[in-house]
Structure 1
Amino acid sequence: MSKEGKSKTNWLNLIPSLQGKLKANISNSNLHFGSLDDFPEKESEYQAVFVRLDCDFMNWQRWYIQCFSHQLNEEGYFFIKGYRFPKLSKNIKLFISSLLRWLFWNIACLIRIAFIRQIFMSKKLIQLTEDYGLCYSSFPAELQFLRGKGILFQKKLQAEAMLRQKLNSKDYLMNQMETKYSDRIIKNDVLINNEIKHISLNDLLLNNNGNVLVLAPHPDDELVGCGGTLLELSKLGATIHVVQMSQGATCSALKNELEKIRHTVRWHEAKLVAEQFSFNQYYWPSNSEEELDASEENEKRLLQLVNKLNPVLIFAPSDADKHIEHQIAFQLINNALKKYKGDVSVLKYPVWGALKRIDYAFDITKQSQKVLDAMYHYKVAMKAEDYAARMQIVWAYQGLLIKDNSESLVEVFSV
């Protein structure tokens, strides 16, 4: 914790009713206020975060716990205040259920022995905090005024670091691929029958250091599919241009949002990523069904952009991808290039589903943490799935197959 004479630490409070207590009791700290959805864009490296178990938190608790763990300082604190006392409802069963949940949580807050406290808490919540490096903590002197009013956790190790340790185990890695990411398992004949070209990215650029065009059917595909390779290319002097080919409004995390929010929030997230990495970005609106379609207008728009940029490389989703809009993105570039008079190499990247052949494999270990950190800007997608874990496991799996070493994180492509 911060001490007198040292620089101020950052604390974040997402419980409006707690503002007075925090201001009165916390000194020598920068106290930030906001909502759950503000959090990922606030200043990172917080010493403490205060949240309440409410409807929004419970709907997306995996994402919020993951995000808190990622942005807390090492040894930082995460305080959870329990449910409000439930209002009397005509639905007696619902009221009793809410009342018991409120009662159990408040009992847990008063118990100091961890294994007894767990009896009264949600098993899912306990597992999630453990998964993301948050451990039960006693209340330090600075937070004694909150004792009995909630449960306090302390960050011991970042989830990403914990996962990297596990990835050194081949058994763990293969189990994760088989149980969670079976769509990305590479068949033996792909490795046996294909000769992977072991060349440098500089050779792939043909020493051009020019424009690289990336097709992203949804905001986040550019990072999930080829983010590490793009950063390596940028480091070599290439200029990265990303086409966000839709607004990504069909994501499950947006199903209950207002139409205006659905059509703007993911573009806003993509803008933050582009600014972080100095990507040039282009935005295409979705069709009336909020999807990317294989229209002549989109094909013409894409051809105009290719003619304007004359890229040395184009990254596009694989035509074997299981997502229909990813297939459409490949179809659009394939049709557009039939009318293009220049020379350009197209690399297909996988997102949902494995490649049928692998022509290039690039080690992106040095860029991996930057990509993982940037994924937290894509909070809509990250609410729906833990892409950070998915990406690390897939990268390590591909490193194991291609380099016989899961410590080498690898992205793969086909031509």
Structure 2
Amino acid sequence: MIDPLVRMGTVLVVAPHPDDEILGCGGTIARLAAAGHDVHVAVATRGTPPRYQAEDVERVRQEAAAAHALLGVAQTHHLDHPAAELDRVPHAELNATMSTLFAAVEPDTLFLPFGGDIHLDHQLIFRSALVAARPYGWNYPVRLYAYETLSETNWSAPHVDPTFVPNVFIDIHETLERKLDAFACYRSQCRAFPNERSPEALRALATLRGATVHRRAAEAFLLIREIM
């Protein structure tokens, strides 16, 4: 049987902040990398003083490197926009950053934060990625998915903001433990259960998403666009 993920080609996961890529796509990243795909991760922001201390920012970057190495990420791109302050960055500048990134990576498939997330950074990155991914010319991403991020996607106002209703499920039962190990690399971000950002909560969500489609574990996505 042909692996249904073979059509994914070169993959780019765009994370507003370090660890979003693991929360939303960690199992999928591991599965794609194991299948021989080039998987890139772009971390859009970094902490800046006085909100974040320099030593804390460096620690998180090291945690990201360890997590990405564990998953088999081909390359990590740090875009270094200010974390939790993207509303102060001109939208044209965010658009240009995404366009430059896409031109360098030439992704076939994009995984993006969901545009209805409660965190404004997530919303703005989603919008700028859509601008950069517009089908101009012959080179552009042909497959776009939005992923869910615990404590961001599920806390927007129901019936006011867009609701995450997944229509694509990727089986991660063979890579779930690697996802959890990668999240454990983010020691500064892990929390004790019943906090949502805990390994137990991630496992519970993967189990629920898997059972939805009669699988042992899955990650869920919203298909934004696909060109075949």
The letter for the 2-side match of 1:366 is E
| Ranges in structure 2 where 5+ consecutive residues have no aligned partner | 155-162, 224-228
Secondary structure of 1:366's counterpart equals: coil
Matched, 1:217 2:16: yes
Please give the secondary structure, in 2, of the residue aligned with 1:264.
helix
Shift of residue 233, structure 1, vs aligned partner? 1.0
* Other structure's SS at 2:145 match: strand
> 3-state DSSP class of the match of 2:45?
coil
The structural deviation recorded for 1:327 is 1.2
Higher helix share: 1
Using the alignment, how far apart are the partners of 2:37 and 2:124 within structure 1?
26
Please tell me whether residue 400 in structure 1 is matched to residue 194 in structure 2: no
The equivalent residue for 1:361 is 169
Please give the secondary structure, in 2, of the residue aligned with 1:285: strand
Contact 1:245 1:292 (8 Å CA) reproduced = no
User: What are the ranges of 5 or more consecutive residues in structure 1 without an aligned counterpart?
Assistant: 1-199
Superposition map of 1:226-265 within 5 A = 226-248=25-47, 259-265=53-59
- Cα displacement string for residues 259-292 of structure 1 (whole angstroms, at most 9, x for unaligned residues): 21243221121111122233110112233x7533
The residue type paired with residue 281 of structure 1 is T
Q: 1:248–1:396: structure 2 CA closer, same or farther, 3 Å change rule?
A: farther
Residues 58-137 of structure 1: pairs in structure 2 closer than 5 A = none
Structure 1 residue 381, shift from structure 2 partner: 1.0
Q: Cα 1:330–1:380, aligned 2, differ >3 Å: closer, same or farther? A: same
SS in 2 for 1:382: coil
SS in 2 for 1:376: helix
Work out the number of aligned pairs and report it. Answer: 205
Structure 1 pair 329–291 and aligned structure 2 pair: CA distance change class (3 A): same
Are 1:272 and 2:71 an aligned pair?
Answer: no
Partner of 1:327: 123
2-structure distance, mates of 1:387, 1:326: 20
CA contact (8 A) 1:247 1:266 kept: no
Taking structure 1 as the reference length, the TM-score comes to: 0.45
Percent of aligned pairs with the same amino acid: 25
| Bigger relative contact order, structure 1 or 2 (CA pairs below 8 A, ≥6 apart) | 2
Residue 234 of structure 1 aligns to a residue whose secondary structure is helix
Distance 1:249 1:220 in 2: 17
Secondary structure, aligned partner of 1:238? coil
Go from structure 1 to structure 2 and tell me whether the alpha carbon gap of 1:205 and 1:312 turns closer, same or farther (over 3 Å shift).
farther
User: Is the 1:247–1:264 contact (alpha carbons within 8 Å) kept by the matching residues of 2?
Assistant: no
Letter of the structure 2 residue corresponding to residue 230 of structure 1: I
Equivalent positions of 1:43-54 (< 5 A) are none
The CA RMSD over aligned residues, in Å, is 2.6
Structure-1 separation of matches of 2:20 and 2:148? 9
Matched, 1:299 2:95: yes
- Give 1:409's aligned residue: 217
Structure 2: distance between partners of 1:204 and 1:371: 18
Kindly indicate whether the alpha-carbon contact (under 8 Å) linking 1:218 and 1:248 is maintained by their aligned counterparts in 2. Answer: no
- Looking at structure 2, the residues matched to 387 and 203 of structure 1 have their Cα atoms a distance apart, in angstroms, of 30
Greater Cα radius of gyration, structure 1 or 2: 1
Q: Which amino acid aligns with 1:402?
A: V
Matched, 1:370 2:209: no
- CA, structure 1 residues 301+340, in 2 after alignment: closer, same or farther (shift >3 Å)? farther
Structure 2 Cα separation of the partners of residues 273 and 364 of structure 1 = 17
Contact 1:216–1:316 under 8 Å retained in 2:
yes
Conservation of the 8 A alpha-carbon contact between 1:211 and 1:310? yes
Cα offset for 1:204? 4.3
Given the alignment, which residue of 303, 317, 339 partners 2:113?
A: 317
CA distance in 1 between partners of 2:177 and 2:109 (Å): 24
Q: Is the 8 A contact 2:118 2:153 kept in 1?
A: yes
Q: Partners in 2 of 1:413 and 1:376 — Cα distance?
A: 23
1:186 alignment counterpart: none
The 1:377/1:291 distance shift into structure 2, 3 A limit, reads farther
What are the Cα deviations for residues 342-361 of structure 1, in whole angstroms up to 9, with x where unaligned? Answer: 24211100112355332211
| Match status 1:391 vs 2:202 | yes
CA shift, 1:339, in A, is 6.5
